[in-house]
Structure 1
Amino acid sequence: MNHNRYIFWPQELNTRSLCFPSEELAAVAIALRGTDYVVLDAVPSQLIEDEELESPYVIVGKKKACSNQWDFTIERTCIIEFKPPRIELLQFFSLEPISLSLPEKEYDANDSNKEFKSLRQLWGHPRYQAHDKKLRHSLKLLNLFSTHLAALYHRYPHYSRKPIKTSNRGIVLWNKLKFIRGFLARFCFYLTIFTYHLATCIYLILNNGFLPLVNLSVTAQQIDLRCQQVCYFPVQYLRINVNVSLRKALPRFRTYSEASANLRKDLPSKYYPDYIRFYNTLWLMLNDVSFGLIFGSILLEKCDEIAPVLHRVITFCLYDFINTVTLVLAQNPVGIKLNEELALFLSDMFLWTIDFSNLMFIKPLADVDTLKFFLNGLAKISCVFGGTFALSMIVDYFSILSIHIYLFYRISSKIYHWQLNIMISLFYLFCGKKKNILRNRVDNNFFQLDELLLGTLFFIILVFLTPTVLAFYFSYTVLRMAAITIEIILESIIALLNHFPLFALLLRIKDPRRIPGGISLTLKKIEGVPHFELRNKPLSIYLMFKPFVVLMNHIRDNFYSIKTLKQITLGLPVAIKRNKLYQILYSSLPKRPIDIHTLHDKWEQFTNAKDRKLD
């Protein structure tokens, strides 16, 4: 069975054929093992008549003078036209969308589906990618088109239409500044090491196993994020620059018969996501500080007006309103007859807790002078460290002010949960059954008459007490969910400011070829040999925001779903587990800061690569 042979054709050669119609041209292509033909240049036929091209170069077609038709030497040919990617601008083709996350931290909205995870793991195995292996190798050849073209001109200088410029002025100047650049390099290196050690120490303090502050405080989590980013910056920078240094040295081949057989497989795209993540983080930090300056200036200007308003809002929402709700619950709300003694006991207990909370921290923290002091400090921190730190401190401030709501919710949920479990056990007893805890099942059991009678009496008593407990539990659950919603909204804004794919969006607008999301082939209406046009598809907006989509799905599943309703019905706690919930947004960072030895090895690799480039 005969298969079509594909020839990748640079679109710029079509323009050259029109500009020089009177020339006889020959298309020189390169083909390595496991790749299709990639045309590098169209050279005048008289230059190659008496010369035999060495492997892997081959002539795949010729064009006669005063003709626009090419005669190809290969049968059953399909032409795939492409625009050569400019490797110095980090343009390249990719069969799959590039990932903006670290490979070991890939998340998906369907990660809970085990079958989907297994299918994705199998699809990533080389055995299941054999059907497009040749295309992958050909795309690697296209990505290094300029490198192969330079190698061709280096081997056959007379093929080049442009004069080869050689200048040692830059190298001489670079060597003259060797002492200064060495001093600056060492100074920057030791400054980086000092900053790295400082950030690592802060990271270890915040992630202490005895009291992990990152799980308790949003501000601590924000500091932890910045420390991890600072620790990862040097590695990202060195990866990017080592990659650039190696890429600039690629045209120096040992044997031209091998051409690019020994080219690195990771070029040019392996460390390219690091380039996007690195500059995206820098952009976000600058924007964070800019946002903080605006936010801080507004707070400083309107501090005297905002503080009294906040005082009234906090006092009403966190003391007066809750106090009123608790008093109403003790007086048969909306006509529901509650157990008077139990309602009075619970109401007195919660009212005492409200008064204690108001005396200890709500009244002092909500005082106008205290709020002015807090807003002034918040404005200064916002101007220096960014708006995310200001929002984090606001979330922690609100968490402290609303801690009594959490206590009311936990107390009422515990009482309701215990009562519900006792009622279920007594109902099993009434039905002549008993729950087997060891085997997690319900077995038949024989009970004495006095046991059945006593259990039935307790069951009836608890049933009559349930509306009272449920009224308190439902009221405080609503208040707790309202507090959780406020915290989630603020933390979502912080997450958006910290991980918004700004740089990727700018790249997509400026040059979509620098952020590939796959390829597309379009059939061109040309008679004769089939012609296709190869294009890059830019990375989709959905994939850029995939971590946020996954985060929103997790928030919905944990707080606003049937699962949450089931937890509330059973009296199970609903809490914000920041260490698990927001790890999705750490997808561009390693699990732990990079080891100092790894950083030193990367630095040595970087300096050695630069020295080799200048030799």
Structure 2
Amino acid sequence: MTQLTISPHSPNSFRIRRSLTWHWGGNQGTIYPVLDHSEKNRHPLNCPSFFKIFKYQQTQMIMFDPPIASRMQYYSLEPISLELSEKSSFTIISQEYEKSLLDEQKEKEQIIEKVKLHASYDPAELSYRGLILRNTISQINCCHELGVEMRRKALEVYPRIRIQTRLRRRLSVSEFAIESAKHVHNRVIDFASNCWDRVVPLLMVGFLGMLMCLRVIAEGILRVIEYRAKPSFYTLKDVSATALQIDLRLQQFCYWPIQYLKIYRRSRDWSSNTNFNMEYIRFYNNIWLVLNDVIIGITLSNLMLERKERIVEYLCYAIDTIFTIEFERTILWLMDWPGGLKLNTELASFFGELILWVIQFWGNFLNLFRPYFGVMVTVVAYSGFAGATLLISVVSDLASFFPAHVYAFYLASGRIYNWQLTVLRSLFHLFRGKKRNILRNRVDSCNYELDQLLIGTILFMSLIFLLPTVVVFYLTFAFFRFAVIIVNAVLESCLACLNHFPLFAILLRIKDFKRVPGGIVYKVLPSPTDSSTSLILLQPLPLQFGKMFYQFTLLTTRLRLHYLSFSVVLRLLSGQFVPIQRSKLYTLLYSKLPARRVNIHDLYKELFPSSSTKQESYDFVSSSGPGGVGNGNRSVLAAMINSSSNSSSSSNSNVSNQPIEPLATATSTSLASGVHNGYSNMANTAAATTSRTRHFQR
């Protein structure tokens, strides 16, 4: 037998008004407390101690602090997710890692199912109890609202006694002046509010019209960024960090109106608090991140504008020294037996002269833009006024553009190295009398002529002696390419932090962890030794930081699998290309956005509804309010209390002859806390009213 109660109240001090039927979870019967309706014990009537009532029964009393909906407090069985439900699945580059995560999740589910088999309940009953538990938690989240509504109804049923005050004396001149000033002030405030009520609809129509125009412009820019000439071609956001950042901001701008409407047009279901609070956290976390992004961007922009000349000098030094002079010295060192390693002189001279010519050409090409470096720095600095993320994105693209010749050398040397390895592998099969069967993907036996074996031996020995030269040049360019990739990875990791850092959730956890629950926990409280009643305290758990930074963990895993895994090392050693897959690697940025954005027509219907829909939407907004989380349930609670009060006389007469369903028992169990809170306050209000009446009668 289980009973829910409110933890601030002692289990021995339940106060009941009139005839109240208590339904106990897990029991098919009903307990009717024997009440004395005499005048001396009417306000309030004390119920006997529950430890004495259930002295010979096993009873569990679960106590809890009622969550306050206006403060967005609620209980949750599972840790809340800061991402959308459609983005909660694993989106990993490596299929092996994705398979391991799915296998781990399936293993946990299998362990849970095996534990259920050893439970004392049937599996069907156990799942039914889980459903009851979820419904109970949902109704516990609304018990505070129920108590507020019952107190309001109690004040309507038992109105306060009007206190007769004595006649006021005549106002003095100063008091009359103050009253006149207050009257004028109230008239001015009323006039201003009337004007505001007339102006706000016009301003709102203009704002919504401007919002639709901006939405059309954003749609056009998104179409350009996502344009793909052929299925095998890359889009603009796949090759540019700036385009990726613009695409993210425009996607957020397209989703914010719908997200705002989701918050203020939520359903009036009791279980809507959980979904509403998660959407609220996502929305305002994005707003906070954008504001912080703009603030940090303006700061960086001012620093860049103040140190513009020094930045231009550093840029010129990087082009002249790092990308040109130092690179030429490295190539000359490779042409002249680097580290005592004897390379093929002719091949090294050929590669070196070709690379030196390309370096000089690229240096002369960059020198053409030298007079415009100041303008370039100014443009990059002013881009920071749109946010630090846009500034970092532009810097990341510039960091990829200036060493473009290194990328070209890496591709060319890698392709030559890969071809040479493929030819050596084929010639090695020739010595063994084998050949590669491409159709069946295996190595078959083959008979070769003497001239074929002779030519193969000559080519094999020539390529073996030329291989060290190709390997040295390839490893040099791969190292420079890897350094550029590390710089881009650091910059884009900063973008991920600025775009997705759970700042708002962390602040809520520090301020009030009940607003970001990560589950529930039961704590056993000490109870009297001579009683069979056990006291249990229900408490919410705060959301763990690991859950908040789950997407960052995935991002780190993706970076490790993409750049530091064994398959990547094999690709580097074999000369294969290792691309940067931005769309798959940085899906963290889009984890809080829907897979498909809302089109312009649907957004127009949401912002400019018809007359009937508009009135219904206004009712939703007026019932919820911007700050009243859960106030939309007020009418539902009022209707429930009215219907229960109207049918209390007929239901109480027939309740003893009707069996109580388990779900109804669980529902009444979860509502016992709210009923207790409401009726105890009704009794306290009635007692206070009676004492005032007796005082004035004296």
TM-score (normalizing by structure 2): 0.73
Structure 1 equivalent of residue 3 of structure 2: 7
Letter aligned with residue 7 of structure 2: Q
Question: Would the alpha carbon gap of residues 385 and 24 (structure 1) be closer, same or farther in structure 2, given more than 3 Å must change?
Answer: closer
- Match of residue 82, structure 2, among 85, 94, 100: 100
Q: Secondary structure at the match of 1:447?
A: coil
Q: Deviations over 1:502-545 (max 9, x none)?
A: 10111111111001111111111222321111111111111111
How far apart are residue 483 of structure 1 and its match?
0.5
Residue 216 of structure 2 corresponds to which residue in structure 1?
Answer: 197
Matched, 1:354 2:359: yes
Q: Could you say which residue in structure 1 is the equivalent of 2:343?
A: 338
Q: 8 Å contact 1:36–1:134 — kept in the other structure?
A: no
Q: Where in structure 1 are there 5+ consecutive unaligned residues? A: 38-42, 50-60, 164-172, 248-262
> 1:432-463: CA deviations, max 9, x gaps?
22222122222222222322222222112111
In structure 1, what is the equivalent of residue 263 of structure 2?
A: 240
Given candidates 555, 561, 568, the residue that maps to 2:572 is: 568
SS at match of 2:275: coil
Q: State the AA in 2 paired with 1:218.
A: A
Distance of aligned partners of 1:178 and 1:47 in 2 relative to their CA distance in 1, 3 Å threshold: farther
Question: Does the alignment pair 1:275 with 2:277?
Answer: no
Give matches, 1:111-510, under 5 Å. 111-113=98-100, 114-116=102-104, 132-150=130-148, 152=150, 179-210=198-229, 212-243=235-266, 246-247=267-268, 263=269, 265=271, 267-361=272-366, 363-365=367-369, 367=370, 369-382=371-384, 384-510=385-511
TM-score by length of 1: 0.82
Q: CA deviation at 1:609?
A: 3.4
SS of match in other structure, 1:338: coil
Indicate the residue corresponding to 2:186 in structure 1.
none
Give 2:353's aligned amino acid: D
| Alpha-carbon spacing, 1:287–1:44, altered in 2? closer, same or farther (3 Å) | farther
Q: Kindly indicate whether the alpha-carbon contact (under 8 Å) linking 1:81 and 1:533 is maintained by their aligned counterparts in 2.
A: yes
CA contact (8 A) 1:354 1:404 kept: yes
Contact 2:7 2:537 in 1 (8 A): no
Distance 1:554 1:613, change over 3 A: closer
C-alpha displacement of 1:264: 5.1
Structure 2 residue matching 1:389: 3-state secondary structure: helix
Give the counterpart letter for 1:83 in structure 2.
D
**Aligned Cα RMSD in Å?**
3.6
Counterpart secondary structure, 1:418: helix
Aligned match for 1:583, one of 573, 587, 591: 587
- Residues 446 and 181 of structure 1: is their aligned pair in 2 closer, same or farther, counting only changes over 3 Å? same
Structure with the larger helix share: 2
2:63 counterpart SS class: strand
1:591 shift after superposition: 2.0
1:384-438 deviations in Å (ceiling 9; x for gaps): 2011111111111111101111101000000001111111111112112222212
The answer to whether the Cα contact below 8 Å between 2:264 and 2:621 also exists between their aligned partners in 1 is no
- Asked if structure 2 preserves the Cα contact closer than 8 Å seen for 1:296 and 1:380, the reply is yes
Distance 1:27 1:421, change over 3 A: farther
Aligned equivalents of 2:312 and 2:34: distance in 1?
Answer: 80
Name the SS for the 1:100 alignment partner. coil
**1:435 match: secondary structure:** strand
Q: 1:121 to 1:232 in 2, by over 3 A?
A: farther
Aligned equivalent of 2:548, options 544, 562, 575: 544
Amino acid at match of 1:435: R
Assess if the C-alpha contact under 8 Å between 2:319 and 2:363 holds in 1: no
User: Does the C-alpha gap of structure 1 residues 359 and 531 become closer, same or farther in structure 2, counting only changes over 3 Å?
Assistant: same
Distance, in Å, in 2 between the alignment partners of 1:479 and 1:276 is 43
Task: Give the counterpart letter for 1:87 in structure 2.
Answer: A
Rg comparison, structure with higher value: 2
* Percent of residue pairs identical: 32
In structure 1, the residue matched to 2:690 is: none
Deviations 1:131-173 (A, max 9, x none): 622221111111111233355557766899999xxxxxxxxx9
Distance across 2 between alignment mates of 1:47 and 1:99: 52
Residue-by-residue CA offset, 1:336-378 (whole Å, 9 max, x unaligned) = 11111111111111111111111112x344x3x5332222222
- 1:13 counterpart SS class: coil
Per-residue deviation at 1:24? 6.6
Q: What residue ranges of structure 2 are gaps of 5+ in the alignment? A: 28-32, 40-44, 114-122, 162-191, 624-698
In structure 2, distance between residues paired with 1:342 and 1:461: 12
The separation in 1 between residues aligned to 2:289 and 2:459, in whole angstroms, is: 61
Q: Residues 344 and 466 of structure 2 are in contact (CA less than 8 Å); yes or no, is this contact kept in structure 1?
A: yes
3-state SS of 1:477 partner: helix
Q: Give 3-state SS (helix, strand or coil) of 2:524's partner.
A: strand
1:186, CA displacement in angstroms?
2.6
Matched, 1:608 2:616: yes
Q: 1:235: how far off?
A: 0.7
- Equivalent residues in 2 for 1:75-90 (5 A)? 75-90=57-72
In the TM superposition, what is the alpha-carbon distance from 1:8 to its structure 2 partner?
1.9
**Aligned 8 A contact 1:102 1:589 in 2:** yes
Task: Give the secondary structure class of the aligned counterpart of 2:576.
Answer: coil
Q: 1:24 to 1:9 in 2, by over 3 A?
A: closer
Residue pair 1:499, 1:585 contacting (<8 A) in 2 also: yes
Structure 2 Cα separation of the partners of residues 284 and 575 of structure 1: 30
Residue 220 of structure 1 and its aligned partner are, at CA, apart by: 0.8
State the one-letter code of the partner of 1:95: L
SS at match of 1:530: strand
More displaced stretch, 186-195 vs 401-410: 186-195
Shift of the 124–354 alpha-carbon distance from structure 1 to 2, 3 Å rule, reads farther
In structure 1, the residue corresponding to 2:77 is in which secondary structure? Answer: coil
| 1:204-235 superposed Cα distances (whole Å, 9 cap, x missing partner) | 11110126210111111111010000000001
Higher-RCO chain (CA-CA 8 Å, sequence separation at least 6): 2
Distance 1:452 1:288, change over 3 A: same
1:557 aligns with 2:561: yes
Post-superposition shift, 1:122? 8.8
**Which stretch shows the higher mean deviation, 121-130 or 549-558?**
121-130
Q: What CA distance in whole angstroms lies between the structure 1 residues aligned with 2:404 and 2:524? A: 65
1:109-137: CA deviation from partner (whole Å, max 9, x where unpaired): 85342424656899999999656222211
Assess, with a 3 A threshold, how the Cα gap between structure 1 residues 92 and 316 changes in structure 2: closer, same or farther: same
For residue 444 of structure 2, give the secondary structure of its aligned residue in structure 1.
strand
Q: Output the amino acid matched with 1:455.
A: G
